[in-house]
Amino acid sequence: MNIAHSRAGGYSLAAATRQSLAQHESLTRASASSQIVKLLRSRAGSAMVALALVCAAATPALADETEIKFDMVPSAGVVKAGCLPNAKAKVKIESDGSVEHMRVRVEGLPPNTDFDFFVIQVPNPPFGLSWYQGDIETDGSGRGSQRFIGRFNIETFIVAPNVAPAPIVFNNAFPDVGQNPATFPVHQYHLGLWFNDPKDAVKAGCPGTVTPFNGEHNAGIQVLNTSNFPDLQGPLFHLKR
């Protein structure tokens, strides 16, 4: 009986040992699997963070859903003449869906001087189709600001389905014409600022060239533009709605 009991006890001990080892192995495998899952999750999370950072870097800094901000830079004529070295402007456009509000702030310009602001097809000559927005007048320190309301986004365009008569009002250096040219839709995504008076340009050390960029078509040279953007993708292109 004792021998038989010892054997039974030995068998029971061996069985218990094998069961314990199996449980330990199962726990070890489970722990390893858990660690692998955690590692994969960690790597997946890191990958997602990296992807998010790449996507953020690829998004234009000037744009979001309803607002863009950007700078205007000195025109080629101003740079070539070496006048107005500190001229610059900051622009902010906000959309409410049906219309945009554009705020333009200029500085580094001659004090107490009038300038004319346009939406244009390309930033440098020949400028293309151009749309007169209004004036910006500087204060005694050469700073000024103005707000314009209109369509200033990717949908900004001019169209003339056919030729039609037009009023002749001004007959200056660039006289009015009696009819328009026909054109399919043409987008304007750039901005430009001109001296209202060529005499003011000369006073500032700039060329006295006469241009058509004011209400009476006898303005001075362009001062600022958005040539810091590609010709076919001016800043207004980046506001999608």
Mean pLDDT, residues 23-51: 47
Is 71 in the same domain as 124?
yes
Mean pLDDT of 6-27: 45
Higher pLDDT, 228 or 52: 228
- Same domain for 112 and 203, yes or no, is yes
Range of the domain at 45: 1-59
pLDDT of residue 230 exceeding 50, the answer is: yes
- Which domain-ending residue is among 21, 43, 59? 59
Q: What pLDDT does residue 176 have?
A: 97
Structure tokens at 124: 């440098």
Average predicted confidence (pLDDT) for the chain: 83
Q: Of the residues 32, 59, 86, which one is the last residue of a structural domain?
A: 59
Could you give the CA distance from residue 20 to residue 10 in angstroms, rounded to a whole number? 15
Q: What is the pLDDT of residue 36?
A: 43
**Between the CA atoms of 168, 171, 176 and 177, what dihedral angle is there, to the nearest 10 degrees?**
80
Tally of structural domains, the chain: 2
Do 9 and 72 fall within a single domain? no
Do 170 and 199 sit in the same domain of this protein? yes
User: For residue 49, what pLDDT is reported?
Assistant: 40
Residues 89 and 130 in one domain: yes
Q: Is the pTM of this model over 0.95?
A: no
Residue 145 has pLDDT above 50, yes or no: yes
Do residue 78 and residue 32 come from a single domain? no
Lowest mean pLDDT among 52-66, 106-120, 181-195: 52-66
Q: 3-state class of 19 per DSSP?
A: helix
Confidence at residue 17, expressed as pLDDT on a 0 to 100 scale? 41
Q: Take residue 140 and report the two structure tokens written for it.
A: 């005694």
Share of the chain above pLDDT 90, in %: 71
| Lowest-pLDDT range of 18-32, 45-59, 93-107, 145-159 | 45-59
Residues 101 and 158 in one domain: yes
Each residue's pLDDT tens digit, 191-225 = 999 999 999 999 999 999 999 999 999 999 999 99
- Enter the tokens of residue 135: 């004036």
Q: Six-digit token pair at 225? A: 């533009």
54 and 85: one domain?
A: no
pLDDT tens-digit series, residues 35-44: 544 544 555 4
- 57-75 pLDDT, tens per residue? 333 445 567 999 999 999 9
Shared-domain flag, residues 155 and 209: yes
Cα 87 to Cα 83, 90, 143, 171, 198, distances in angstroms: 9, 11, 10, 32, 17
User: Any idea what the CATH number is for the domain that residue 74 is in?
Assistant: 2.60.40
Instruction: Give the C-alpha separation, 82 to 141, whole Å.
Output: 20
Task: Report yes or no: 133 and 117 within 8 Å, Cβ to Cβ.
Answer: yes
